[in-house]
Amino acid sequence: MQTKTFLGVCGSLRKASRNMGLLRCAQTVMPEGSSLIIADISEFPFYSADREQPECVKAFIRQVKQADGLVLAVPEYNYSVAPALKNALDWVSREPGSLLAGKPAAIMGAGGGMGTSRAQYHLRQICVYLDLRVLNKPEVFSNAFSAAFFNNGDVADTEEGKKLQTEIKELMAALCRQAGQQLR
Ligand SMILES: Cc1cc2nc3c(=O)[nH]c(=O)nc-3n(C[C@H](O)[C@H](O)[C@H](O)COP(=O)(O)O)c2cc1C
């Protein structure tokens, strides 16, 4: 079986992030033969053309190159994409060679009542320019303030949490299928 490795990127930098919890949950439900590693973007400075790439950004770019696809966990800040995630994508987008073009990607998010749907649709627009191949379905819109999450950000083993786990599992399966089709 061909193994596939995906890279998770979370737009929230706080310790008890629900969005990071979504990525940790995804790690536990990856289809056999695939895995998900989670990038550390917490030290990235804001992109500037005048700034040399720091080592943390270089390491991230290496991870992006090696990944068969991306899993983007997007918090919604003021109806849009949290800036840490946009900034990480901005850094990669300036690397020669269109690293993201054609890469499969999955999007999910945890936020207020609309489950980051507004931010996710902004992110999808960003992904058009980057030429990422974002899965349309399933969409994962979760409520960060519900019983689906423990206080530390992990997806809970409650009824809501289990439903969310199933949605994430389906999304990861769809991502693997997409990556498999592209690798053939
Ligand atoms: C600056 C800021 C703006 C926010 N704006 C929104 C918003 O527009 N929509 C929403 O659903 N939640 C909003 N929230 C609440 C976040 O969705 C919530 O804090 C969520 O838990 C953040 O994700 P995290 O747990 O991964 O950090 C906002 C939070 C912050 C800090």
Residue 24: which CATH number?
Answer: 3.40.50.360
Q: Which residues lie with the beta carbon below 6 Å from any ligand 1 atom?
A: 12, 14, 17-19, 75-79, 110-112, 114, 144
CA angle 154, 160, 166 (to 5 degrees): 80
Query: Is the per-residue pLDDT at 1 higher than 60?
Result: no
CA–centroid distance, residue 70 to ligand 1 (Å): 22
* Positive/negative CA dihedral, 23, 38, 35, 63: positive
Q: What are phi and psi of 145, to 5 degrees?
A: -105, 20
CA–centroid distance, residue 111 to ligand 1 (Å): 5
CA–centroid distance, residue 116 to ligand 1 (Å): 8
Structurally, the chain folds into a number of domains equal to 1
**pLDDT tens for each residue of 116-146:** 999 999 999 999 999 999 999 999 999 999 9
**pLDDT tens for each residue of 27-80:** 999 999 999 999 999 999 999 999 999 999 999 999 999 999 999 999 999 999
The pLDDT of residue 182: 72
Residue 183 pLDDT level (bands cut at 50, 70, 90): low
Q: d(Cα 131, Cα 20) in Å, to the nearest integer?
A: 24
Q: Which domain holds residue 91?
A: 4-183
Q: Provide the whole-model pTM.
A: 0.97
Of 77, 107, 118, 145, the residue with max ligand 1 atoms within 8 A of its CB, to mutate for a pocket test, comes to 77
Q: What is the mean pLDDT of residues 148-152?
A: 98
Which among 66, 71, 39 is positioned nearest to 174, based on CA atoms?
Answer: 71
The pLDDT of residue 184: 45
The pLDDT of residue 181: 81
Partners of 81 in beta bridges: 76
Nearest-CA residue for atom 10 of ligand 1: 112
**pLDDT tens for each residue of 83-108:** 999 999 999 999 999 999 999 999 99
Partners of 37 in beta bridges: 7
Mean pLDDT, the chain, whole residue set: 96
CA–centroid distance, residue 33 to ligand 1 (Å): 34
Nearest-CA residue for atom 31 of ligand 1: 77
Nearest-CA residue for atom 18 of ligand 1: 111
